[in-house]
Structure 1
Amino acid sequence: MPWPPFLKPAHTIINPIALRRAGRAGSLAVVIHRGRRSGRTYRTPVRAFRRGDIVAIGANFGANSDWVQNILAAGEGELRLRGELCRLTEPRLLRLDELPPVFPRWYRWVLRSLVHTHQCLVMHATKHQQR
């Protein structure tokens, strides 16, 4: 069971603050995706981890989250992580126990024990441009 839906409204406050810091350092990143119905570009702060050309992002609000569904529908997106903009392709929704070793152990524990999420989005990342 992912984070409860009653926490979603808090993100109207948290996301704008997180977006100011996301993508610069650490694992706080910005996933850039196109709305599957609106066609509008969205920016969503996430925790992303990269190992080689694989990027994994926990689906904290579940597989039905808009950003997850948008990436899956488009088959692509972009990610700003540690100052680098990457193109994301080949998205797959996986259970944590199916995931290659991309997440650090502490983050797997957070997803399972605190957030109660057992799914993540895994994508192929290629360097897009420096920012």
Structure 2
Amino acid sequence: MVLPKGLARFNRVATNRINKYVVGWAPGFGMIVHKGRKSGKEYRTPLNVFRTDDGFVVALTYGPDTDWVKNVLAAESCTVITRRRNYRVHSPELVHDESRQAMPAPVRQFLGLLNVDDFLLLKRD
């Protein structure tokens, strides 16, 4: 059970407008800056972002078929803004992992309740 598309639309219109003030500095949050595949327009998507040894991991709570994921995969890069720093990242990789090992333990448990098993790995420059 990935989160419903209706919730994604609500978050895009309402919640994300509030989150954009928090995601740049709060632990576990970040902003993915990416370009549209067709429009070339710059988009900023607030998400839960967690550090890995060589980059970042993002839980795909709406699944791997969202526009922002497709944009990042097509461009093969994006920028992650987290903890007041910008990171250019590359080599996005979709990973299906039912153990959710890349996530911190409390987050892993929560994602298990939602049956979120798909993640996007991003490597830092």
Q: For residues 45-92 of structure 1, what are the alpha-carbon distances to aligned partners after superposition, in whole Å with 9 as ceiling and x for unaligned?
A: 000000232210011111011111110010000000111100110000
Letter in 2 for 1:9: R
Does the 8 A contact of 1:54 with 1:102 survive in 2? no
Letter in 2 for 1:27: G
Q: For residues 6-40 of structure 1, what are the alpha-carbon distances to aligned partners after superposition, in whole Å with 9 as ceiling and x for unaligned?
A: 21221110001001111212011101010111100
Alignment partner, residue 52 of structure 1: 53
Alignment partner, residue 33 of structure 2: 32
Does the 8 A contact of 1:96 with 1:120 survive in 2? yes
**Stretches of structure 2 lacking an aligned partner (at least 5 in a row):** none
Higher helix share: 1
**Stretches of structure 1 lacking an aligned partner (at least 5 in a row):** 127-131
Q: 1:82 to 1:38 in 2, by over 3 A?
A: same
What's the secondary structure of 1:70's corresponding residue?
A: helix
Q: 1:56 to 1:34 in 2, by over 3 A?
A: same
Does the 8 A contact of 1:96 with 1:108 survive in 2? no
Alignment partner, residue 129 of structure 1: none
- Percent identical among aligned pairs is 28
- TM-score when normalising by structure 2: 0.91
Between Structure 1 and Structure 2, how many residues are aligned?
A: 124
Alignment partner, residue 7 of structure 2: 7
- TM-score when normalising by structure 1: 0.88
What is the deviation of 1:96?
2.4
Does the 8 A contact of 1:96 with 1:118 survive in 2? yes
The alignment's C-alpha RMSD in Å is 1.5
Cα distance between partner residues in 2 of 1:19 and 1:54? 21
Alignment partner, residue 116 of structure 1: 115
Does the 8 A contact of 1:3 with 1:116 survive in 2? no
What's the secondary structure of 2:8's corresponding residue?
A: helix
What's the secondary structure of 1:63's corresponding residue?
A: coil
Q: 1:124 to 1:70 in 2, by over 3 A?
A: same
